[in-house]
Structure 1
Amino acid sequence: MSGAAAVAFSVEGETLGKEEKAFFRDCDPWGFILFARNVDRPRQVRALTDSLRDCVGRDAPVFIDQEGGRVQRLRPPHWRAAPPAARFAALWDREPELALEAVRINHRLIAHELYALGIDADYAPCADIRVEGAHDVIGDRALHSDPHAVAAMATAALEGLLHQGVLGVIKHLPGHGRAGADSHFELPVVEADEETLARTDFAAFRGIKGALMAMTAHLVYTAIDRDDCATFSSEVITRVIRGDIGFDGLLMSDDLVMKALSGPLRQRTSRAFAAGCDLVIHNGAMPDMIEIAHATPRLDHDALRRADAALAARRAPDPFDPDAGQAALARLFEEAGLDAP
């Protein structure tokens, strides 16, 4: 038995248009993604997520990028300004156990806001290691430069999100941290040898526990595949992501319209699936979505199994007082002699 179309689509604005509603009913995407252009105030966001699910007639997952720091679609005055990951790296260097608890509480706070809006999946945590001299597209989004620290804090982040009813998506497999360019605008090429990658970038992801979903990186790793970026490389996905790292969850592409990729959208979509991605994601207009839909299969076999396993992990949020959580987060930093976020 096959499932929904193996894609998560975005929308143009703060409400759904008639054309979008008809398209989503016909295409039946597995999930949806919200961006800053879709967000105004809490009641509006909740109405949008409800209408998206109404289009497909089921409790489809709704995703957003809410890491904290530079990458958060929900911002003040209606939502908390969550700290960047680098703040937790500084805390780890003082008191690792305090850092783990702080990451967990921070992600409970994030998820508490998301769940109230009908958003039940977050493109977080970013588990790319911080590498000196690399492009700052990751930079302070990285939890640490030490892969053990990254894995431990990323695991805590996933736990915190799930406590409040939100699934996390680890990114960007198998590692974006040492890229010398921003894949939103050009294709980065990483020339580190495989041994170095295996004990650093790959090790950070290898050590994460409880990850059910992950996103690929639009990067070329010359030691693995000189021709294709990870999203389009069966060698990277099979040998590294599924093999070395051992990730057996739902693997989705990064955004197909990013400038790191080339070629028509229909071709990009086909290449991602041929390489081994289970799902593709898209941030763009209706003509793009139509192109992608033509090349997108229904979820089936292992991809359907992984998608079903992710959705089966969804749960009602635990009781949680966000004011008490914010106070506890501040105390953890102060206990280590750091300013509260």
Structure 2
Amino acid sequence: MSVSAALYGLQGPELLPGEKAFFRDADPWGIILFGRNVDRPKQLARLCASLRDGLGRDLPIFIDQEGGRVQRLKAPTWRAAPPAARFGELWDRDPELAIEAVRLNHILLAAELKDAGIDVDFAPCCDLQIEGADAVIGDRAFHADPDPVSALATAALDGLRDQGVAGVIKHIPGHGRADADSHFKLPVVRTPADELRETDLAAFKGVSGATMAMTAHVVFTAFDAELCATLSRTVIADIIRGEIGFDGLLMSDDLSMQALDGSLRQRGEGAARAGCEILMHCNGDMKEMVEIAHAAPRLDGQAKERAIAAEAERGPRAAHDTRELTARLEGCFRDAGLEPPAP
């Protein structure tokens, strides 16, 4: 029997009895963790083990571990990874060193995740740095130009995969131009279609090896003047699947975000109708999760095939000396005449 096409969060650092019962009944494809779920390494490993034990299978466990501002495993317990923009600075000095540095950085990120029992990272961002846009993306983006973003995102996925961690590119078809933070308000992008094709769409189109992507709660008036990408059949079918050519598993951004209107069930049903194959709900609110559970279809057909392909990336990890990798990462910046990331 197939699982539910959903991804849920939970409230705290331990799996509560009510959450365990809900997850067993709802049977989601995966679970996403946040800072509120993270205390110490042993606690985190126990939590991941309890989630898999509670559902009786080796389900994917997700987290946002980009580095910089978006890092759920935080220093000093874990490494303070640099934001993506630092690698864009390095690209402008030496593209080959930048690609190697991104790969090394994501091997190090993935090694810490794998140690904790987490095997999917919501990274990298393939959004562009756009001057004058809302700061929600900002230095989370590698670069302002699509070619370096594509190349560095591909390197990031390679680094994660080295440790048996799957990556999720986001926020397709682009969040860099957003005029608002979609956590709080619906952004609207009025850029002409031809310009979007040459920039934002090109960044995603150039990424190789992505098996999963997360949508943007952003309205692109050039493609759909009313509905954001997450809820737009036109954007998903014609732009994400068509022009960008993404053929992996497509999941919604968090359906509890204030960019979206209507009940949680209505949001979930709308996202599923539009073509989102996994519905994501993050805040751990049980009443809201129940609504999403009513909206989430079973994971079947082509979506199930894509999910199986994505899960296959959660494989064995390569052996590395962490200190050596860190030294090589710092050396990439020094060789280009830049200050290396803080250890």
Query: Could you state the TM-score of these two structures normalised by the residue count of structure 1?
Result: 0.99
Supply the AA of the counterpart residue of 2:268.
Answer: T
Aligned equivalent of 1:26: 25
1:336 is aligned to 2:309: no
CA RMSD in angstroms comes to 0.6
Q: Cα deviation per residue 1:2-61 (whole Å; 9 max; x = unaligned)?
A: 521000111111001111111111111000000000000000000000111111111100
Matched residues in 2 for 1:143 and 1:153: separation?
7
State the SS of the aligned residue for 2:252: strand
Aligned equivalent of 1:310: 310
Matched residues in 1 for 2:311 and 2:74: separation?
27
Q: Cα deviation per residue 1:55-101 (whole Å; 9 max; x = unaligned)?
A: 11111000000000000000012100000011001000000000000
Count of paired positions: 340
Aligned equivalent of 1:123: 122
Matched residues in 2 for 1:152 and 1:311: separation?
23
Supply the AA of the counterpart residue of 2:149.
Answer: V
Aligned equivalent of 2:196: 197
Counterpart mapping for 1:1-341 below 5 A: 3-284=2-283, 285-341=285-341
State the SS of the aligned residue for 2:108: helix
Matched residues in 2 for 1:216 and 1:275: separation?
11
Supply the AA of the counterpart residue of 2:107.
Answer: R
Supply the AA of the counterpart residue of 1:299.
Answer: L
* 1:314 CA drift (Å): 2.1
State the SS of the aligned residue for 1:327: helix
State the SS of the aligned residue for 2:213: strand
Supply the AA of the counterpart residue of 2:94.
Answer: E
Supply the AA of the counterpart residue of 2:63.
Answer: I
Name stretches of at least 5 consecutive residues in structure 2 with no aligned partner: none
State the SS of the aligned residue for 1:30: strand
Q: Cα deviation per residue 1:219-275 (whole Å; 9 max; x = unaligned)?
A: 000000001000000000000000000001000000000010010000000000000
Greater alpha carbon shift after TM alignment, 48-57 vs 91-100: 48-57
8 A Cα contact 2:164 2:313, kept in partner: no
Name stretches of at least 5 consecutive residues in structure 1 with no aligned partner: none
State the SS of the aligned residue for 1:33: strand
Supply the AA of the counterpart residue of 2:293.
Answer: A
State the SS of the aligned residue for 1:307: helix
- The sequence identity of aligned pairs, in percent, is 60
8 A Cα contact 2:61 2:119, kept in partner: yes
Supply the AA of the counterpart residue of 1:251.
Answer: L
Matched residues in 1 for 2:72 and 2:88: separation?
22
Supply the AA of the counterpart residue of 1:250.
Answer: L
8 A Cα contact 2:174 2:200, kept in partner: yes
Q: Cα deviation per residue 1:161-200 (whole Å; 9 max; x = unaligned)?
A: 0001100000000000111111011000000011000010
Supply the AA of the counterpart residue of 1:253.
Answer: S
* 1:312 CA drift (Å): 1.8
* 1:295 CA drift (Å): 1.1
State the SS of the aligned residue for 1:254: coil
* 1:302 CA drift (Å): 1.1
Matched residues in 1 for 2:178 and 2:75: separation?
31
Supply the AA of the counterpart residue of 1:151.
Answer: S
Matched residues in 1 for 2:75 and 2:199: separation?
35
Q: Cα deviation per residue 1:186-218 (whole Å; 9 max; x = unaligned)?
A: 000000011000010000000000000000000
Supply the AA of the counterpart residue of 1:287.
Answer: K
* 1:320 CA drift (Å): 1.1
Query: Could you state the TM-score of these two structures normalised by the residue count of structure 2?
Result: 0.98
* 1:313 CA drift (Å): 2.5
Matched residues in 2 for 1:157 and 1:48: separation?
26
Matched residues in 2 for 1:139 and 1:251: separation?
24
Matched residues in 2 for 1:313 and 1:112: separation?
14
